[in-house]
Amino acid sequence: MDPRREHVRRLLQVDAYITDIHGRTTAPAQIIDISRMGVAFVSDQAITPHEQFVLNFCFPGSGIRNEITLTVLHSAVVGTHGRYRNGARFAAISAACADRIFDYVTTAPA
């Protein structure tokens, strides 16, 4: 674990959707890692830092949809294909969703 990290992160590659807080625009994203307090994801466009969005995704092998309100902390170009790596902290999350994330982060990969 990176000693600078406050919370353990676990790699995760799943498709997701990011929606502005008003529900006007939705864009595809791909989660690349997750922790109990935040998430990193890749998108096709820059995401405005310090604004809130809603992230929707399912864990691998699960049909349960997780919906989390988050605040984007940073968005930066990654690679040569015009994609963006975004980091966000959770702002609002249900207890059930928090439990699923905790279980995923603390369970060893199969």
CATH value at residue 96: 2.40.10.220
Residue 89 lies in a domain: yes
Is residue 6 predicted with pLDDT exceeding 90?
Answer: no
Q: Which residues does 109 contact at the CB level (< 8 Å), separation at least 6?
A: 10
Q: Which pLDDT score is estimated for 92? A: 96
3-state helix, strand, coil in the chain (%, to 5): 10, 50, 35
Residue 51 lies in a domain: yes
Residue 109 lies in a domain: no
Task: Read off the pLDDT of residues 50-106 as tens digits, 9 standing for 90 and up.
Answer: 999 999 999 999 999 999 999 999 999 998 788 999 999 999 999 999 999 999 888
Q: Which pLDDT score is estimated for 12? A: 86
Residue 76 lies in a domain: yes
Q: Considering only residues 54 and 9, tell me which one the structure prediction assigns the higher pLDDT.
A: 54
| pTM for this predicted structure | 0.86
Q: Which of 108, 75, 71 is nearest to 91 (CA)?
A: 71
Residue 45 is part of which domain span?
A: 9-103
Residue 3 lies in a domain: no
pLDDT band at 2 (very low <50, low <70, confident <90, very high): very low
Q: In the chain, how many domains are there?
A: 1
Residue 18 lies in a domain: yes
Residue 69 lies in a domain: yes
Residue 42 lies in a domain: yes
